[in-house]
Structure 1
Amino acid sequence: MDSTTKFEEFNSLYPIEISSGTLEALKWLAVISMTIDHFNRFFFQASIYSAYCAGRLAMPLFAFIFAYNLARPEAFERGIYTRVFKRLLFFGVLATPAYIAMRHLQHLWPLNIMFMLFIAAVLFFLFQKKSPLTISLAIFLFFLSGAFVEYSWQGLIFCLSCWFFCRNPSILALIACLFSYFLIDSLNGNHWALASLPLIILATQIELKIPRIPYFFYIYYPGHLTLFWLVSKLI
């Protein structure tokens, strides 16, 4: 056994498996976290710190679920990427006016999380092609797009590290995931994003029977932002 084989055996970890119902439970927790955060932003100008902290769980949960689903072997062959691209762009555009109002932005950027996930999905797609050209394009896109999306390069690194870990679990990929958590923490100004980690670990150990509602989470994002925006203008 050569040194490369020994390292691969040492580095490899068991693949993680999360049931569909348990993934839905994680999505609902992320939705609750996100809703609390956005309510705080629209109606209290983000002044309630406990609500801000609760909201830090949303992004890592959504990003992990997103990466986990697109890391499935069949995602590439079944053309799931194309459908995901279209949905993220469509609902990201719908959410843009309310998102700009919530963040009090003077420009279109940073674009909302739907666009960050769109860029992450494009990066997954390019890396999965494994050609020198697509890998070069992915690196170029990463450095260019990080300046224009919510959560910036830290968010893209988090998505990528989760995707690589879910595709090929290893000690190195796990270290990258943990490192990306601390990048998110530096962006948030606290460590509350780490609270999502035990929830993800727990999700691998339990199987919940929660039915999936197609497109709900795509629709909910622009829907709740627009509702909060309109109500905030009336009071």
Structure 2
Amino acid sequence: MHGTETIPVSRVRDGALDLLKWLALLSMVLDHLRYVGLNLDGLYVPGRLAFPWFCLAIAANLYRVKDAPATFQWRYLGWLLLFSVISEVPYRLFIDDADTLNVLPTLALGMLIARGWQQKTLFDRGLALIALILAAVFSSQLMFGLFGVLLPLAMLWVFRRPWYFSLLPGLVCLAANQWQVLLDNGNVVALSGLATCLIAPLAGLVLLRHARHVSPPAMRRWAYALYPLHFLLLLLVRKIIA
């Protein structure tokens, strides 16, 4: 990672990308364990890795299939949208005071914007513009807001640039995570969360570069179901604990 390209994503099955997805899923579950009724506030810190790593996975997938037929990427978007709807009820059952939609609409809009920047056709640019307008208008209803929607684009933008450009998606990630609230809080967990937001993109890019020969189980379409299911499982855990 010394002045070279940040990521050598290949078009074959990428074990590092699957590993990134599994680690993002683990980080998300750890983050949500804070809501089962135990004193687990420290899990907020590793939980800050989940969203930027899911955004990085989306950007990496777009990069890998940028020359593939458009139907491939539309299927990808379709699965995101389908499980955005399926996941909303389990999400609200588990997060009692949720004031935003679940995270999948944010990722779907972010994918459209990143794809529009990548493909450069009038149709794709038009969809990206519509997604950007929706994200700006409904920012308060989207998890991680407008900056969260822009994070996949920021991730995609740094792929072929030196590693230190990862500071840009780090700042976008920080902006998406209510940095002012964290800074005002000032405790160890909040400040550690701030630092994690900043370094998460670089950590993900390092993983994609240096873990290319690992062979974790491939994350295929069935993995979308893990998002709503983990809410239901943690809800069950909370009821057992209570």
**The TM-score by the shorter chain falls in which range?**
0.7 to 0.9
Q: Which residue matches 2:143?
A: 150
1:228 maps to what in 2? 234
Give TM-score scaled by structure 2 length. 0.76
1:131-155 CA distance string (max 9 Å, x none): 5675365334324225132111121
Structure 2 unmatched ranges of 5 or more: 183-192
Matches within 5 A, 1:44-63: 44=38, 47-63=39-55
Give the equivalent residue in structure 2 for 1:193. Answer: 197
Question: Structure 1 residues 76 and 123, CA, compared in 2 at 3 Å: closer, same or farther?
Answer: farther
Aligned residue number for residue 176 of structure 1: 168
Quickly say closer, same or farther: Cα 1:216–1:170, change in 2 above 3 A. same
The residue that corresponds to 1:21 in the other structure is 15
Point out the more displaced range, 124-133 or 26-35. 124-133
Q: Supply the distance in 1 between the matched residues of 2:208 and 2:134 (Cα, whole angstroms).
A: 34
Q: Give aligned-pair identity as a percent.
A: 24
Rg comparison, structure with higher value:
1
Q: TM-score, normalised by structure 1?
A: 0.78
SS where residue 173 of structure 2 aligns? helix
Match of 1:209 among 196, 210, 215: 215
- Distance in 1, matches of 2:130 and 2:37, equals 39
Secondary structure, counterpart of 1:43 in structure 2 = coil
The one-letter code sitting in structure 2 at the alignment partner of 1:204 is R
Of 32, 37, 42, the match for 2:36: 42
Amino acid at match of 2:5: Y
- Aligned partner of 2:64 in structure 1 is 72
The residue type equivalent to 1:150 in the other structure is M
Matched, 1:160 2:153: yes
Matched AA of 1:120:
G
Per-residue deviation at 1:69? Answer: 0.7
* One-letter identity of the residue aligned with 2:36: F
Residues of 1 paired with 2:163 and 2:27: CA distance?
29
Greater Cα offset, 67-76 or 134-143 = 134-143
Matched, 1:117 2:107: yes
- Helix, strand or coil at the partner of 1:160: helix
Residues 155 and 184 in structure 1, CA contact (< 8 A), matched pair in contact too: yes
Q: Aligned pair count?
A: 219
**In structure 2, how many angstroms separate the alpha carbons of the residues matched to 1:129 and 1:203?**
23
Over 3 Å counting, the alpha-carbon distance change for 1:31 and 1:139 in structure 2 is same
Q: Check the 8 A contact 1:67/1:160 in 2, yes or no.
A: yes
Aligned letter for 1:43?
G
Over residues 3-40 of structure 1, what are the superposed CA-to-partner deviations in whole Å (9 max), with x where a residue is unaligned? xxxxxxxxx96362146111122222112111111121
**8 Å CA contact 1:21, 1:208 repeated in 2:** yes
User: Per-residue CA shift, 1:31-78, capped at 9, x if unaligned?
Assistant: 21111111212333xx52211112111111111011111122446525
The CA distance in 1 between the partners of 2:219 and 2:127, in whole Å, is 35
Comparing 220-229 with 193-202, greater Cα deviation is found at 193-202
Q: Answer yes or no: is the 8 Å Cα contact 2:21–2:54 preserved in 1.
A: yes
Q: 1:121 to 1:16 in 2, by over 3 A?
A: same
| SS of residue in 1 equivalent to 2:214 | coil
